[in-house]
C-alpha cells in the first residue's frame, strides 16, 4: 500500500506496519508540549491519582503566554508549574524569557523529521515545518499523556499544496498563506493533514516554512507538514546530534485533493477583521488608519522577520499616531537581533522592543487595545476580542507590510518603500 | 459493544453554540443540567425526546466553532450514544470520544436514515443497520473501545492506571 507522510509517521508511532486514513490508532509521541496552561493540566493529572509522570524527558513545558506574570494569578500559575517541574524532575522546562514554545522547541532540537509532536496549543502545527507530524490536543489529553505516554489519534486524510516559483521581494510566506486561506477558507482543511511541497517550498527558508505550518491550524488542519529536504537537516544539525529519518510520501500516495500556487504571483496580503479568511490586498486598504502595529508572535517573530522590518524602517520614523511593538520570538533571536544592530534600528525608528513571549496576541497583557482601536498584527488570529477588547479590530499581515504601515500610519503595501 | 436507538437527523455545520450555548459555559453545571440544554438552539425538544442509546445523523462539519468540551458532554448526558456525520470539526470529534460519545464519519447513511427509525451499530463488527441497509466501517481501536466503555478518557485512564 502507498502512504502519505501522515500515514507513515502515525503507523511508526503506533507500532504498526501501515495505517490508512480514517483509522484510529494509539500512538506514543516524541514530544508533549504545554505552556502556561500546564497549571490547569496539573489539575487534570491529579484526578488520575498517579504519583509520577510516565516519561519526563518526552515532556516540554515552556512559559510564554503571560511572561513575566501580569497579575498575581499568573504568578501563582507559574509557581504551581515550577514546583511540579521540580517535583517530577522534568528536564525540558523553559522559564520566563526563553521564548515562545513553538520557537523554543526546534531551537532546542527536541524533534525532527518523522517525529510526532502533540501539544496543548492549537498552533502546535508549526512543528510540521521540519517534517514532523504535529497537532494540537486538549488539556485533559495532555494530562493522560503525562500519565501514560500514549494517546489515540485518527489518521487524517491528506491534501497537497504544490508550491512553484519564487516570492517577489518584500513578499513573504505570510502573504502566501493569507492568500491560500482566502481561497480555501478557514474550514478548507478540517481534520486533514496538509502537505506543502514543490520547488517553491524548497526555495523557502525554514522560518518561512514555519509560517505555513503555523497557519495550517487556521485552515482547520490537524497538521501541516512541509516536505523535509537538505535545508531541514542542515538546520537541525546545528541544534542536535540526534539522527532523524526524513519521511516522504510514496509517489502514488492518495490525496484528497491538490492545489498549486505560483509564488511569483503573490502580493502583499491582509486578513481583515474578524476572520483569517477575510482576504484583501494591502494596497486596497490604505484608508485604514492604525493605532498599533505588532511585529512578533509564533507566526512572525523570527530573525528574518525582524530583519525585513528593519530594512523597511531603517533611517525612517514611525507615524506619531501609532505604537509599534516588537517581540522577538525567543531569547536567541533577541540576542542575534541585538548583536547585528536590528533592535537598535527598530528602536531608533520609534519601536518599543519587548521581551520574548506571546505578548498581546491573546489579549492578556503588553499591548491590549481600547474600544475603536485598530491594530495591524503579524500574528495568526484576528477574532473579535482576541487582543483583549471586543470593540477593537485586528488586521493580519506580513512583517514588511507591518513595517511599511507603521511609517505611514495606515495599511500600506511595502512596495511603496522599494 | 453495540448501540441501538432511534434516529435524530440534522443538516450541515451544526456549531457548538447551538449544541451548547456560550452563555452557559461559565456556569457550573452538572451533567444532568447540561443535558437539558443539549441542542437547545437547534432542536429545543431534543433533550426531552432523546432516550439512552439514541443516535444523531448529520451532514458535514458537525461541532464546528468553539472547542468547548461541554457540547459533547451535553449530548452524551441527554442519552445519545453516537453521532454519525459526513464530517466533524476536529476538536469536537476528539471531545466526543473522550467523553464516551461514539463519533463516526460516513457520507452514505444520510440518504437512507429516517428520523425516528431504529438504528443498530455494532462497534466490534464495524457494521451499521438501518432501514434494511447495512453499512461497514473501520471498528475503533482497542483503546477507543475502552474509552467509550469507561465513559471517557479520564475515567478510562484512571481505571487502567489502577490496574482495572
Any domain includes A181: yes
**Number of folded domains in chain A?**
2
Domain range for residue A302? 270-417
Q: How far is B5 from chain A (nearest CA, A)?
A: 24
Any domain includes A17: yes
Any domain includes A333: yes
What confidence category does residue B66 fall into, taking pLDDT thresholds of 50, 70 and 90? low
- A235 and A289 co-located in one domain: no
Q: Which residue of A has its CA nearest to B106?
A: A22
Q: Is the pLDDT reported for residue B26 higher than 70?
A: no
ipTM of this complex:
0.72
- Domain termination site, one of A203, A232, A262: A262
Nearest to residue A402, comparing CAs of A316, A329, A284, A310? A310
- A115 and A234 co-located in one domain: yes
- With CB atoms and an 8 Å threshold, state whether B157 touches A48: yes
**For residue B164, what pLDDT is reported?**
63
**For residue B28, what pLDDT is reported?**
63
**For residue A24, what pLDDT is reported?**
86
Measured between beta carbons, which residues in chain A are less than 8 angstroms from residue B140?
Answer: 24
Q: Which residue of B has its CA nearest to A151?
A: B143
**Chosen from A143, A154, A257, A384 to mutate, greatest number of chain B CBs within 10 A:** A154
Q: Which residues contact B14 (CB under 8 A, 6 or more apart)?
A: B42, B58, B59, B61, B62, B63, B64
Any domain includes B111: yes
Rounded CA gap, A56 and A307, in Å?
37
Grid coordinates 475603536 are at which residue?
Answer: A372
Q: pLDDT exceeding 70 applies to what percent of chain A? A: 100
Any domain includes A248: no
**Number of folded domains in chain B?**
1
Question: Over chain A, what HEC string results?
Answer: CCCCHHHHHHHHHHCCCCCCCCCEEEECCCEEEECCCHHHHHHHHHHCCCCCCCCHHHEEEECCCCCCCCCHHHHHHHHHHHHHHHHCCCCCEECCCCECHHHHHHHCCCCCCCCEEEECCHHHHHHHHHCCEEEECCHHHHHHHHHHCCEEEECCCEEEEEEECCCCCCCCHHHHHHHHHHHHCCCCCCCCEEEEECHHHHCCCHHHHHHHHHHHHHHCCCEEEECCCHHHHHHHHCCCCCCCCCCCCCCCCCCCEEEEEEHHHCCCEEECCCCCCCEEEHHHHCCCECCEEEECHHHHCCHHHHHHHHHHHCCCCCCCCCEEEECCCEHHHHHHHHHCCHHHHHHHHCCEECCCCCHHHHCCCCCCCCCCCEEEECCCCCCCCCCCCCCCEEEECCHHHHHHHHHHCECCCHHHHC
pLDDT tens for A37-68 read 999 899 889 989 999 999 999 999 999 999 99
Any domain includes A247: no
- A395 and A317 co-located in one domain: yes
**Chosen from A15, A24, A40, A45 to mutate, greatest number of chain B CBs within 10 A:** A24
- With CB atoms and an 8 Å threshold, state whether B162 touches A49: yes
Low-confidence stretches of chain A (pLDDT beneath 70):
none
Name the residue among A25, A152, A191 with its Cβ closest to that of B88: A191
- A122 and A215 co-located in one domain: yes
- A258 and A393 co-located in one domain: no
Q: Which residues contact A33 (CB under 8 A, 6 or more apart)?
A: A60, A61, A62, A101, A105, A117, A118, A119, A120, A121, A124
- A313 and A276 co-located in one domain: yes
Rounded CA gap, A290 and A284, in Å?
15
- A11 and A35 co-located in one domain: yes
**For residue B163, what pLDDT is reported?**
80
Indicate which CATH number applies to the domain containing B32: 3.20.19.10
Name the residue among A23, A26, A220 with its Cβ closest to that of B90: A220
**For residue A286, what pLDDT is reported?**
97
- Indicate the Cα dihedral angle A39, A42, A47, A49, nearest 10°: -150
**For residue B13, what pLDDT is reported?**
84
Which residues from B are below 8 Å from A when comparing CB atoms? 61, 64, 67, 69, 87-91, 93-95, 97-98, 105, 138, 140-144, 147, 153-154, 157-158, 160-162
- For the segment B50-79, the average pLDDT, to the nearest whole number, is 90
**For residue B67, what pLDDT is reported?**
66
Average pLDDT, chain B: 91
Any domain includes B55: yes
Q: Which residue of A has its CA nearest to B144?
A: A152
Q: Which residue of A has its CA nearest to B60?
A: A190
- A135 and A31 co-located in one domain: yes
Q: Output the pTM of the full model.
A: 0.88
- Please state the separation of Cα B47 from the chain's center in Å: 13
- A329 and A398 co-located in one domain: yes
- With CB atoms and an 8 Å threshold, state whether B157 touches A26: no
- A319 and A214 co-located in one domain: no
- Domain termination site, one of A262, A297, A330: A262
- With CB atoms and an 8 Å threshold, state whether B161 touches A26: no
Indicate which CATH number applies to the domain containing A367: 3.30.499.10
Nearest to residue B97, comparing CAs of A11, A133, A32, A137? A137
pLDDT tens for B5-20 read 999 999 998 988 889 8
Any domain includes A357: yes
- Domain termination site, one of A262, A290, A319: A262
Q: Is the pLDDT reported for residue B25 higher than 80?
A: no
Amino acid at each position: 500500500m502507498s502512504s502519505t507522510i501522515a500515514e507513515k509517521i502515525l503507523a511508526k508511532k503506533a507500532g504498526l506496519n501501515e495505517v490508512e486514513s480514517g483509522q484510529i490508532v494509539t500512538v506514543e509521541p516524541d514530544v508533549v508540549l504545554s505552556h502556561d496552561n500546564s497549571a490547569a493540566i496539573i489539575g487534570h493529572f491529579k484526578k488520575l491519582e498517579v504519583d509520577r509522570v510516565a516519561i519526563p524527558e518526552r515532556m516540554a513545558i515552556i512559559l510564554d503566554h503571560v511572561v513575566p506574570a501580569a497579575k498575581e494569578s499568573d504568578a501563582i500559575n507559574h509557581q504551581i508549574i515550577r514546583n511540579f517541574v521540580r517535583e517530577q524532575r522534568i528536564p525540558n522546562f523553559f522559564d520566563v524569557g526563553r521564548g515562545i514554545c513553538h520557537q523554543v522547541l526546534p531551537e532546542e532540537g527536541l524533534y525532527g523529521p518523522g517525529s510526532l509532536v502533540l501539544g496543548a496549543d492549537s498552533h502546535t502545527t508549526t512543528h510540521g515545518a521540519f517534517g514532523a507530524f504535529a497537532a494540537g490536543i486538549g488539556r485533559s489529553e495532555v494530562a493522560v499523556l503525562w500519565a501514560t505516554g500514549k494517546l489515540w489519534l485518527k489518521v487524517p486524510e491528506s491534501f497537497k499544496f504544490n508550491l512553484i516559483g519564487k516570492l517577489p521581494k518584500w513578499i513573504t510566506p505570510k502573504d502566501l498563506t493569507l492568500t491560500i486561506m482566502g481561497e480555501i477558507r478557514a474550514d478548507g482543511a478540517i481534520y486533514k493533514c496538509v502537505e506543502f511541497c514543490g520547488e517553491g517550498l524548497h526555495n523557502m527558508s525554514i522560518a518561512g516554512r514555519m509560517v505555513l505550518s503555523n497557519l495550517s491550524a487556521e485552515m482547520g488542519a490537524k497538521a501541516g507538514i512541509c516536505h523535509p529536504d537538505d535545508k531541514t537537516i542542515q538546520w537541525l544539525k546545528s541544534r542536535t546530534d540526534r539522527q532523524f529519518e526524513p519521511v516522504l510520501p510514496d509517489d502514488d500516495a492518495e490525496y484528497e485533493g491538490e492545489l498549486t500556487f505560483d509564488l511569483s504571483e503573490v502580493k502583499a496580503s491582509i486578513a481583515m477583521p474578524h476572520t483569517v479568511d477575510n482576504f484583501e490586498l494591502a494596497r486596497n486598504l490604505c484608508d485604514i488608519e492604525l493605532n498599533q502595529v505588532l511585529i512578533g508572535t509564533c507566526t512572525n517573530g523570527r530573525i528574518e522577520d525582524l530583519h525585513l522590518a528593519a530594512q523597511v524602517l531603517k533611517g525612517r520614523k514611525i507615524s506619531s499616531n501609532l505604537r509599534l511593538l516588537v517581540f522577538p520570538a525567543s531569547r536567541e533571536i533577541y540576542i542575534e537581533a541585538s548583536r547585528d544592530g536590528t533592535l537598535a534600528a527598530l528602536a531608533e525608528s520609534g519601536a518599543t522592543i519587548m521581551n520574548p513571549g506571546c505578548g498581546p496576541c491573546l489579549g492578556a497583557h503588553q499591548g491590549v487595545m481600547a474600544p475603536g482601536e485598530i491594530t495591524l498584527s503579524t500574528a495568526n488570529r484576528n477574532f473579535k476580542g482576541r487582543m483583549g477588547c471586543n470593540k477593537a479590530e485586528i488586521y493580519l499581515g506580513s512583517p514588511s507590510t507591518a513595517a511599511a504601515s507603521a511609517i505611514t500610519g495606515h495599511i500600506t503595501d511595502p512596495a511603496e518603500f522599494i | 459493544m453495540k448501540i441501538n436507538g432511534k434516529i435524530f437527523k440534522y443538516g450541515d455545520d451544526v456549531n457548538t453554540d447551538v449544541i451548547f450555548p456560550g452563555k452557559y459555559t461559565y456556569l457550573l453545571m452538572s451533567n444532568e443540567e447540561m443535558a437539558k440544554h443539549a441542542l437547545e438552539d437547534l432542536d429545543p425538544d431534543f433533550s426531552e425526546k432523546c432516550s439512552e442509546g439514541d443516535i444523531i445523523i448529520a451532514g458535514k462539519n458537525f461541532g464546528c466553532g468553539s472547542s468547548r468540551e461541554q457540547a459533547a458532554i451535553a449530548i452524551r448526558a441527554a442519552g445519545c450514544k453516537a453521532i454519525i456525520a459526513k464530517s466533524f470539526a476536529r476538536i469536537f470529534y476528539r471531545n466526543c470520544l473522550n467523553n464516551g460519545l461514539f463519533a463516526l464519519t460516513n457520507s452514505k447513511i444520510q440518504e437512507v436514515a429516517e428520523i425516528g427509525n431504529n438504528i443498530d451499530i455494532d462497534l466490534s463488527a464495524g457494521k451499521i443497520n438501518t432501514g434494511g441497509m447495512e453499512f461497514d466501517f473501520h471498528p475503533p481501536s482497542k483503546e477507543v473501545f475502552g474509552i467509550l466503555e469507561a465513559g471517557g478518557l479520564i475515567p478510562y485512564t484512571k481505571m487502567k492506571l489502577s490496574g482495572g
